Structure 1
Amino acid sequence: MLDFTWKVFSQTGNIDTYLLFKEMEKERIEIPGNFDEELAQADFPVS
């Protein structure tokens, strides 16, 4: 979803779309145990 939002912003220059992108990006970072983290941990398990 972040990629789509960024693509729309880059094509339109709409500031509201950029603000939505930044809000979504912030929420993604704040959510503990997000999917990307889980994938990274699966690749490099901590002993």
Structure 2
Amino acid sequence: MLDFTWKVFSQTGNIDTYLLFKELEKDDQEIPGYQEEELAGIDFPIS
């Protein structure tokens, strides 16, 4: 999805497409950390 939005932005120069790209990029970077914390909680449950 990131590649597609970047390609559309680079071809059109549409600022809304760029902002969508940055939002998707931000969301993509946040997910792995969340999953690691969630998995750590499963391995070591807080009592």
Q: TM-score range by the shorter chain?
A: 0.5 to 0.7
Unaligned runs of 5+ in 1: 34-47
Structure that is richer in helix per residue: 2
Please, what TM-score do these two structures have when normalized by structure 2? 0.67
Q: What is the number of residues matched between the two proteins? A: 33
* AA at the equivalent of 1:5: T
Larger Rg: 2
Q: Secondary structure at the match of 1:31?
A: helix
Q: After TM superposition, where is structure 1 displaced by more than 4 Å over at least 4 residues in a row?
A: none
Please, what TM-score do these two structures have when normalized by structure 1? 0.67
Q: Percent identity?
A: 85
Unaligned runs of 5+ in 2: 36-47
